[in-house]
Amino acid sequence: MFIKDQLTQVIHQVLLQMGFEVSTQEIHLEQPALPEHGDWSTNIALVLAKRVKMSPVELSSAVAKTVEDDISSFAFAYIKAVKAVSPGFVNFYLYNSWLHQELIELFKQGEHHYAAFDIGKGKAVQVEFISANPTGPLHVGNGWWGCYGDALARLLSRCGWMVSREYYVNDTGGQIRELGASILAAKRGKELPEGGYKGEYISLLAASYDEAAQAEVEGDEAADGQGAITAVEKAGIWAAKRILENIKTTCNRLGIIFDKYYSQREMEQSGALDQSLKDLDKRSLLYRDEGALWFKSSSLGDSRDRVLVKSDGEYTYLAADIAYHRDKFILRGFDRVIDVFGADHHGHVPSLLAGVEALGVQKGSLEVKIGQMVSLVGGIGTKSDADGSNLSATGAAVKMSKREGNVVLLDSLIDEIGIDAVRLLSLLSSIDQAVTLDLDLVKKQSMENPVYYVQYAHARIASIQKFAEVRGHAGLDRVNLNLNTLNVLRHPRELDLIRCLIELPDIIMSAYNELAPFKVTTWVRKLAGCFHGFYHDCRVIGDDVALEITEARLWLTEAVRIGLKIGLELLGVSLPESM
RNA sequence: GCCCUCGUAGCUCAACGGACAGAGCGGUUGCCUUCUAAGCAAUAGGUUGCAGGUUCGAGUCCUGCCGGGGGCGCCA
């Protein structure tokens, strides 16, 4: 049991003794920023004051006094002093052994259970992310939200959910025709059609679009029992498949492995869409107007009604998306679904939520996280920018557009700074934050990227542990680890390091609650910082280091290694043994 | 015009409604016979866009402005 939980019990017990009806949930403990405010602090007196009609100062003093008077009666031996302080905080000062005890707890639980939770209880959650249209290669923004989605999935998994990662492939509709038209135009050396796609990849694809390719598409379509399709559609379908393969390769490079790439075309061909419409119709939520089929989404929180089937008989994107979510919830039975959208699609959210609600899915089962736009400044790709670098000479932010072909490719960025740097960089700040990425700076700073700071801590630990073996320090004996062994850890650097390390369970909990994996990044950087300080001031192995100090510090080092491992694995960043 | 979102140091970003708003980069200055200097330490830098309100307490919550981004299709 963590010290924090034990201390909560103590406070609870005291409050009950004093005759106050409170639940343990109301008792909030935090580690104060300032050392003089103690190891733990609670604001319970401030919260309770009004209810019990006492002044906060009076109440906090009473609580502090009661704790002090009864200190020997608690099954809790770590309290050194308790102080009430204006405007009503109760601060607890503990013996250092409480930190050592936390380390023992960490080892007891081990890397698989420490800071892991069973909130999901094995229920199924699906995280859908990236889902970029297969009309062009992934750009940096896709990668940004992609790393977020993947890290979120890892976080959910650590919190007891059975996670599926999924990519929704919009491989049908007008955009695929436009893609096909662009390919054909490029092949014939004609002007690109209005609204066509312009990137370099179009001409590359066009060059390899031959009769065999056409035959391949025709064969597939015949197998699917579809009717005749136009030359434009053929080219579009073919190109989309090729592009999707390219997208998969890029995702795999980044360590983002989807359980499923879900094809919109296949779903439509399966008749799932019609079934979805029937379900909505059963609830009397559809009506016809001007030849189109409408969804009464305004009755479910949307700002207006939406068209599901156009007057030309084609389905809208929304119709397909509702059917897709029907598939997720009703057919596949996910208990929870989290969609990660770019901010450019957030207008779609109320309609989708209305659709999902209309299908009878419990409210709240679908959560949508909106990734703010990633704007780019500066240039990248020193060799040739032909494959899509955007760069304005002025260095002004350029809006990325697949259609305009001025995207900065995710692959280029990975080539430039590496996988770990991309992952950590994209997980540095909240997804709610619209970030500006200065590509010149990123390139220039690639050697001093924050990721190296963290990885370097790990490499140093690995180095110490190797050296320990060389010097013949026996393996760590976990069974007999006790407070006496760790008691010599008293250096401020050591205590700070432990203090930081043991925040991990709380960090993961709040990262989970807020769907904010970047909190893990922030923590991992802080931990690395504490470790570097410790490394600098506290030698682990050496002729002038006492044996019991070496032993205790080896323990501490191992604990930090576990913490770094948990953190970096959640972020999908590798842990180098040497650098 | 309406809806969503963001506004914190020169730059990029942190801060469960808590105590004096913190890091990194960039600037200045120190530290390598020692387990990796991709490191450590010191120093400078702020009226948290503005104005009200709620609260014992507001960068955080509410209202209104101002500014950036996104969205308001029988596109996806």
Q: Average pLDDT for residues A98-103, to the nearest whole number?
A: 95
Q: Give A470's contacts (C-beta < 8 A, 6+ positions apart).
A: none
For residue A85, the domain's CATH number is 3.30.1360.70
Structural domains counted in chain A: 4
Q: Do residue A516 and residue A480 come from a single domain?
A: yes
Separation of CA A351 and C1' B63 in angstroms? 28
Helix (H, G, I), strand (E, B) or coil at A319: helix
- Tell me how far apart the alpha carbons of residues A504 and A530 are, in angstroms, rounded to a whole number: 14
Per-residue pLDDT at A403: 57
Q: Do residue A498 and residue A566 come from a single domain?
A: yes
Separation of CA A177 and C1' B74 in angstroms? 17
Nucleotides in B strand less than 7 A from protein CB: 2-7, 11-16, 18-20, 22-26, 34-41, 56-57, 68-76
Separation of CA A432 and C1' B68 in angstroms? 14
Residue that wins the pLDDT comparison between A528 and A77: A528
Question: Residue A53, CB half-sphere, CA atoms under 13 Å: how many?
Answer: 0
- Tell me how far apart the alpha carbons of residues A84 and A37 are, in angstroms, rounded to a whole number: 10
Amino acid occupying residue A104: I
Task: Determine how many CB atoms are found less than 10 A away from the CB of residue A564.
Answer: 22
Reported as a pLDDT band with limits 50, 70 and 90, residue A67 is: very high
Per-residue pLDDT at A101: 94
Whether residue A271 lies inside any domain: the answer is no
Per-residue pLDDT at A62: 93
Q: Do residue A518 and residue A495 come from a single domain?
A: yes
Q: Do residue A409 and residue A465 come from a single domain?
A: no
Positive or negative torsion for Cα A523, A528, A529, A533: positive
Q: How confident is the model over A245-277, as pLDDT tens digits?
A: 999 999 999 999 999 999 999 999 899 999 999
Reported as a pLDDT band with limits 50, 70 and 90, residue A219 is: confident
Residue with tokens 């492995």, as numbered in its chain: A257
Whether residue A552 lies inside any domain: the answer is yes
Q: Average pLDDT for residues A1-11, to the nearest whole number?
A: 91
pLDDT at A502 > cutoff 60: yes
Q: Do residue A439 and residue A508 come from a single domain?
A: no
Closest CA to A435 of A144, A102, A105: A144
Q: How confident is the model over A413-439, as pLDDT tens digits?
A: 898 889 999 999 999 988 888 787 877
What stretches of A343-390 adopt beta strand conformation (E)? 366-371, 374-377
Closest CA to A204 of A448, A422, A460, A405: A405
Separation of CA A304 and C1' B2 in angstroms? 12
Whether residue A347 lies inside any domain: the answer is no
Whether residue A50 lies inside any domain: the answer is yes
- What pairing do the DSSP bridges indicate for beta strands A40-42 and A89-94? antiparallel
Nearest nucleic acid nucleotide to A309, CA to C1' distance: B74
Q: Do residue A566 and residue A547 come from a single domain?
A: yes
What are the DSSP calls for A192-216, one per residue?
Answer: PPTT---SHHHHHHHHT--HHHHHH
Separation of CA A506 and C1' B54 in angstroms? 29
Q: Do residue A441 and residue A479 come from a single domain?
A: no
Q: Do residue A440 and residue A489 come from a single domain?
A: no
Per-residue pLDDT at A390: 34
Per-residue pLDDT at A393: 29
The angle formed by the CA atoms of residues A84, A88 and A89, to the nearest 5 degrees, is 60
Per-residue pLDDT at A282: 94
- Tell me how far apart the alpha carbons of residues A132 and A410 are, in angstroms, rounded to a whole number: 12
- What pairing do the DSSP bridges indicate for beta strands A40-42 and A29-30? antiparallel
- Asked if strand B comes closer than 7 Å to A407 Cβ, the answer is no
Nearest nucleic acid nucleotide to A372, CA to C1' distance: B5
Residues 470-489 of A with CB under 7 A from strand B: none
- Tell me how far apart the alpha carbons of residues A9 and A7 are, in angstroms, rounded to a whole number: 5
- Asked if strand B comes closer than 7 Å to A434 Cβ, the answer is yes
Nearest nucleic acid nucleotide to A311, CA to C1' distance: B74
pLDDT at A179 > cutoff 90: yes
Q: Do residue A438 and residue A457 come from a single domain?
A: no
Helices of type H across A70-199: 97-113, 140-158, 174-187
Whole-number Cα distances in Å, A366 to A61, A189, A277, A329, A340: 46, 46, 19, 9, 11
**What are the φ/ψ torsions at residue A558 (nearest 5 degrees)?**
-65, -40
Nearest nucleic acid nucleotide to A458, CA to C1' distance: B36
- What interhelical angle do A317-326 and A272-282 show, nearest 10? 90
Separation of CA A282 and C1' B45 in angstroms? 64
Residue nearest to nucleotide B57 (CA to C1'): A87
**Do A502 and A106 form a contact (C-beta atoms < 8 A)?**
yes
Nearest nucleic acid nucleotide to A36, CA to C1' distance: B19
- Asked if strand B comes closer than 7 Å to A62 Cβ, the answer is no
Residue that wins the pLDDT comparison between A186 and A406: A186
Separation of CA A148 and C1' B27 in angstroms? 34
**What are the φ/ψ torsions at residue A348 (nearest 5 degrees)?**
-80, -20
pLDDT at A385 > cutoff 60: no
Per-residue pLDDT at A400: 56
CA A517 vs. chain centroid, Å, equals 4
pLDDT at A386 > cutoff 90: no
Q: Residue A323 corresponds to which tokens in the numbers above? A: 């059917």
**Low-confidence winner among A194-198, A293-297, A324-328, A424-428 (lowest mean pLDDT):** A194-198
The angle formed by the CA atoms of residues A133, A135 and A139, to the nearest 5 degrees, is 75
Per-residue pLDDT at A127: 96
**Do A169 and A264 form a contact (C-beta atoms < 8 A)?**
yes
Whether residue A117 lies inside any domain: the answer is no
Q: Do residue A508 and residue A560 come from a single domain?
A: yes
Whether residue A35 lies inside any domain: the answer is yes
Per-residue pLDDT at A448: 72
Separation of CA A322 and C1' B54 in angstroms? 41
Residue nearest to nucleotide B16 (CA to C1'): A510
The domain boundary residue, chosen from A95, A114, A138 = A95
Domain, as residue range, for A234: 174-241
Reported as a pLDDT band with limits 50, 70 and 90, residue A486 is: very high
- Asked if strand B comes closer than 7 Å to A579 Cβ, the answer is yes
Q: Residue A362: is it exposed, middle or buried by C-beta count within 10 angstroms (0-12/13-18/19+)?
A: exposed
Separation of CA A295 and C1' B69 in angstroms? 30
**Do A486 and A552 form a contact (C-beta atoms < 8 A)?**
yes
Separation of CA A116 and C1' B28 in angstroms? 45
Query: What percent of chain A lies above the pLDDT cut of 90?
Result: 66
Choose the most confident range, by mean pLDDT, from A230-234, A296-300, A567-571.
A567-571
Separation of CA A372 and C1' B5 in angstroms? 8
pLDDT at A550 > cutoff 70: yes
State the average pLDDT for chain A: 88
> What burial letters (b/e) apply to A254-270, b meaning 16+ CB within 10 Å?
bebebeebbbbbebbee
Q: Average pLDDT for residues A444-465, to the nearest whole number?
A: 88
Nearest nucleic acid nucleotide to A170, CA to C1' distance: B76
- Asked if strand B comes closer than 7 Å to A366 Cβ, the answer is no
Separation of CA A343 and C1' B64 in angstroms? 26
Whether residue A461 lies inside any domain: the answer is yes
Per-residue pLDDT at A380: 47
Q: Do residue A463 and residue A396 come from a single domain?
A: no
Per-residue pLDDT at A44: 93
**Low-confidence winner among A136-140, A214-218, A400-404, A535-539 (lowest mean pLDDT):** A400-404
Residue nearest to nucleotide B32 (CA to C1'): A536
To which H or E segment does residue A94 belong?
strand A89-94
**What are the φ/ψ torsions at residue A374 (nearest 5 degrees)?**
-105, 115
Reported as a pLDDT band with limits 50, 70 and 90, residue A223 is: low
Separation of CA A296 and C1' B74 in angstroms? 15
| CA dihedral of A34, A37, A40, A43, whole degrees rounded to 10 | -110
**Low-confidence winner among A58-72, A319-333, A372-386 (lowest mean pLDDT):** A372-386
What are the DSSP calls for A525-564, one per residue?
Answer: HHHHHHHHHHHHH--SSSTTS-HHHHHHHHHHHHHHHHHH
Per-residue pLDDT at A225: 57
Amino acid occupying residue A553: R
Separation of CA A107 and C1' B62 in angstroms? 46
For residue A508, the domain's CATH number is 1.10.730.10
The angle formed by the CA atoms of residues A264, A330 and A344, to the nearest 5 degrees, is 45
Whether residue A265 lies inside any domain: the answer is no
Q: Average pLDDT for residues A14-27, to the nearest whole number?
A: 89
To which H or E segment does residue A11 belong?
helix A3-17
Nearest nucleic acid nucleotide to A434, CA to C1' distance: B6
Q: Average pLDDT for residues A148-162, to the nearest whole number?
A: 96
Query: What residues form DSSP beta bridges with A169?
Result: A263
Q: Do residue A478 and residue A566 come from a single domain?
A: yes
Q: How confident is the model over A555-564, as pLDDT tens digits?
A: 999 999 999 9
Amino acid occupying residue A474: A
Q: Average pLDDT for residues A214-243, to the nearest whole number?
A: 82
The domain boundary residue, chosen from A95, A126, A159 = A95
CA A179 vs. chain centroid, Å, equals 32
Per-residue pLDDT at A391: 32
Reported as a pLDDT band with limits 50, 70 and 90, residue A388 is: very low
Q: Average pLDDT for residues A2-24, to the nearest whole number?
A: 91
Residue that wins the pLDDT comparison between A261 and A199: A261
Reported as a pLDDT band with limits 50, 70 and 90, residue A74 is: confident
Residues 68-127 of A with CB under 7 A from strand B: 85, 87-89, 91
The domain boundary residue, chosen from A200, A226, A241 = A241
Whole-number Cα distances in Å, A29 to A1, A2, A43, A45, A76: 15, 12, 7, 12, 16
Q: Average pLDDT for residues A140-169, to the nearest whole number?
A: 95
pLDDT at A383 > cutoff 60: no
Per-residue pLDDT at A387: 31
Helix (H, G, I), strand (E, B) or coil at A125: strand
